[in-house]
Structure 1
């Protein structure tokens, strides 16, 4: 019975991350997963995130010193963080044209890059008085 329960927990957490519009904090994953698994504990969420990360199904994203998690396999992408509501979204376009191998002034050789844009998401921007 324990193996089935663990598999269900892994499946629900993986589904939560697969549906998310961007990377999620552990507390967000916990709250969303509890909708399907009301008895789920926070320690189980941490263990499952470690397991899914080790299996390559998800990966951590560090944003402003906080570790968030998102499903793997989304290809090259960046993030938008809403200053108003705090949600983080995945952007599927790259605002930077800086391919790997580019030599940046000073002799820095680019291997990869990460970009996070900050501002207001469409929901928050739309709720501002005009």
Structure 2
């Protein structure tokens, strides 16, 4: 692997993802990074996300056809997508008891699983409609 130098943009974008409550869309990463890096271009965000993915520091998550990004190393987890505000949260408990190697009816052998729950986050559930 070729070593790449660290840049302020890379550090800020990685920090944004490490501090997020769940995976973020490119525009969300860009918006949050702008507070530390005024003038940061969206193209730089795309390039940096690609590089951080290649380095294994972050990974893409596809929800409803949209690619979001989150920091790597969070272990086995799932997501909750708020249908009201659109935010996506990381859930650290697994609602599915399907360990790797489970043979599902019909002969399907489970290697991994992803679960996204949909509903209202605590803030939206508490707010008037």
Within a 5 Å distance, the mapping from 1:1-130 to structure 2 comes to 7-128=7-128
Tell me the matched-pair count.
126
Q: Specify the SS of the correspondent of 2:7.
A: helix
Query: Any idea what the Cα deviations from partners look like across 1:95-119, whole Å, max 9, x if unmatched?
Result: 0000000000000000000000000
Deviations 1:5-37 (A, max 9, x none): x61000000000001000000000000000000
TM-score by length of 1: 0.94
RMSD: 1.3
**CA distance, structure 2, for counterparts of residue 10 and residue 39 of structure 1:** 14
Alignment partners' CA distance in 1, 2:114 and 2:106: 20
Shift of 1:128: 2.6
CA distance in structure 1 between the partners assigned to 2:44 and 2:119 by the alignment: 33
Partner Cα separation in structure 1 for residue 98 and residue 59 of structure 2: 23
Shift in Å at residue 75 of structure 1? 0.0
Between the aligned partners of 2:110 and 2:11, the Cα distance in structure 1 is 37
How does the TM-score come out when normalised to structure 2?
0.95
Gaps of 5+ in 2: none
